[in-house]
Structure 1
Amino acid sequence: MNELHFLGYYFHVLAGIVWIGMLYYFNFVQTEYFKEAEASAKADAMAKLAPRALWWFRWGALITFLTGAYLFHKLGAFGVAMPAIWMGALAGTLMFLNVWLIIWPKQQIVLGMKEGDGPAAAAKAGLASRTNTLLSGPMLLGMLGSGKLALGGTDTGLYAAMGLIVLLEANALFGGQGPMKSVVGVVHCSLALALVIFGLLNYV
C-alpha cells in the first residue's frame, strides 16, 4: 500500500467516525432530548446547536463517500470476488444520498432556514435518519468483512442482501418508521439486519 492509499484509508475512517458519530448523536441523544426539553431550551438548541452539528454531519458524509469511492475503485473491488464490500458500498452510498438529498434539505425547513411544512419535513428527515441508523450495521459489516471474512455464499446471497437494502431504502422514501420509532427499536433492527445479511452472504 503506498502513501496515497494509506491517506485514503485514514481520511475515510476519520470522516466516517465523524459522520456516523453525528448520526448516532442525532438519533440517540438530540432527538430524545428535544422530546423532553423546555420550549426555550429547544428553540436555543435548534438555533445554535443543530446547525453546527448538521455541518459536521453532512461534510463528514461527503468526505467518507468520496474517499470510499476512491478506495473502492483503486484497491481491488472491481473484478474481485468480495461480496461484502459491494453490499457495504451500496448501503453507504444510499446513506450518503439520504444525508444530502433528504435529511439536510428537510432539516433546513425544520430549523427555519427555508420555508416549508415543518412537521412534514421533520417526519421525512426523521425517517431517513432512522433508516441510515438501520443501515449502519450492515454497512460496517461490509466494510470490516471485506477481505477478512471467508464468506461461503453465492451471488444469489449477495443479490438478496442488496435487494433487501434497496427495499429498506424504498421504505425510507415512501414508508414509515415502524419498530424504529424508539432508540431501542432502531438499535435492535440494525443488529438484526446485520445478522440477516451476514447469513445471506455466508449461507445462501
Structure 2
Amino acid sequence: MEFINFLIRWGHLLFGITWIGILYYFNFIQGGYFKQATPEALADAKAKLAPSALWWFRWGAMFTFITGVLLLGGLSHNNQFNNSIVIAALMGTLMFLNVWLIIWPNQQVALGMKEGDGPAAGAKALLASRTNVLFSGPMAFGMLASPHASQWGGSGYGTGVGGIDLIVCIVVIAALEVNALMGKQGPMASVKGVIHASLGLTVVLFGILYYL
C-alpha cells in the first residue's frame, strides 16, 4: 500500500510539472511571442503549436487533479491534513476548473477552432490563466509546507483543520476566483506583475495562517 501511495505521489509530481510548466510557458513565453510574431508565424503557431500545447496542458491538469484527490484521501489519516494542505487543495481545484471550464473553451474560440468572439474569448482565457499563475505560488507552498506545519507553530499550523484563519484565507481565494470570472487583470497584466502578485499572495495567505 505504501508503494502504491508513492507511485501516486510520483505521478502527481510528473503530471503537475507538465501542467504548471506549460502554464508558465503560455504566460511567460508564448504570450510575448504572439505579440511580436509576423502574421504568417502567428497564424502557423495558432494552427499547430497552441492546440498541441493546450492538449498537454489540459490533460496534465486532469491527471494532476485526479492523483491529487487520491493523495488527499490518504492525508486525511495523518498529521499532514491541516489548513496548509486545505488551502493548497482548494487553489489546485480552482486552477483545474479554470483550465477545463474557462481557459480551454475560450481558447478554442480565440484560436479559431470554434465560432465566437475571438478577442473577447482570448481576454477571458488570459485572465483565468493569469489567475492560475497567481494561485500557483501559494498552492505549491501549501503542498510542501503541510508535512512541516506542526513544527512551525502558529494557530494555523498543526494537525487540525478549521478556524478563523482558514475562513479568512478561503474568502481571499474566493474573491480572487470571482475576479478571474468577471474582473480585470490589474497587476497581473504583466509577467513581472503576476509573478510578484503570486509571491505576495503566498506571504499573505500563510502569514494569515501563522499570525491570525
Q: How far 1:74 sits from its partner (Å)?
A: 2.0
Query: In 2 relative to 1, CA 44–135 (structure 1 residues): closer, same or farther, beyond 3 Å?
Result: same
Q: Which residue of 2 aligns with 1:120?
A: 120
CA distance in 2, matches of 1:56, 1:81: 30
Q: How far 1:78 sits from its partner (Å)?
A: 8.3
- Contact 2:12–2:64 (CA<8 Å) still a contact in 1? yes
- Contact 1:77–1:85 (CA<8 Å) still a contact in 2? no
What is the root-mean-square deviation in Å for CA atoms of aligned residues? Answer: 1.5
Query: In 2 relative to 1, CA 152–50 (structure 1 residues): closer, same or farther, beyond 3 Å?
Result: same
2:183 paired residue among 169, 175, 192: 175
Task: Write the letter of the residue equivalent to 1:197.
Answer: L
- Contact 1:72–1:78 (CA<8 Å) still a contact in 2? no
2:155 paired residue among 153, 156, 177: 153
Q: Which residue of 1 aligns with 2:160?
A: none
- Structure 2 unaligned blocks of 5 or more: 157-162
- Contact 1:151–1:201 (CA<8 Å) still a contact in 2? no
- Contact 1:161–1:200 (CA<8 Å) still a contact in 2? yes
- Contact 1:153–1:203 (CA<8 Å) still a contact in 2? yes
SS in structure 2 at match of 1:112 = coil
Task: Write the letter of the residue equivalent to 1:35.
Answer: K
Q: Which residue of 2 aligns with 1:86?
A: 86
Query: In 2 relative to 1, CA 148–79 (structure 1 residues): closer, same or farther, beyond 3 Å?
Result: closer
The question of 1:136 aligning with 2:136 is answered: yes
Residues matched between the structures, number: 204
Query: In 2 relative to 1, CA 80–42 (structure 1 residues): closer, same or farther, beyond 3 Å?
Result: closer
Q: Which residue of 1 aligns with 2:205?
A: 197
CA distance in 2, matches of 1:97, 1:78: 27
Q: How far 1:81 sits from its partner (Å)?
A: 5.4
CA distance in 1, matches of 2:167, 2:112: 41
Query: In 2 relative to 1, CA 78–103 (structure 1 residues): closer, same or farther, beyond 3 Å?
Result: farther
SS in structure 2 at match of 1:147 = helix
Query: In 2 relative to 1, CA 81–48 (structure 1 residues): closer, same or farther, beyond 3 Å?
Result: closer
Deviates more, 1:88-97 or 1:107-116: 107-116
Task: Write the letter of the residue equivalent to 2:148.
Answer: K
Query: In 2 relative to 1, CA 147–99 (structure 1 residues): closer, same or farther, beyond 3 Å?
Result: same
Task: Write the letter of the residue equivalent to 2:37.
Answer: A
The ranges of structure 1 where at least 4 consecutive aligned residues each deviate by more than 6 angstroms after the TM superposition are 77-80
Query: In 2 relative to 1, CA 51–77 (structure 1 residues): closer, same or farther, beyond 3 Å?
Result: farther
Alignment of 1:10-49 (within 5 A): 10-49=10-49
Deviates more, 1:80-89 or 1:176-185: 80-89
CA distance in 1, matches of 2:77, 2:106: 34
Identity of aligned residues (%): 58
- Structure 1 unaligned blocks of 5 or more: none
Query: In 2 relative to 1, CA 81–103 (structure 1 residues): closer, same or farther, beyond 3 Å?
Result: closer
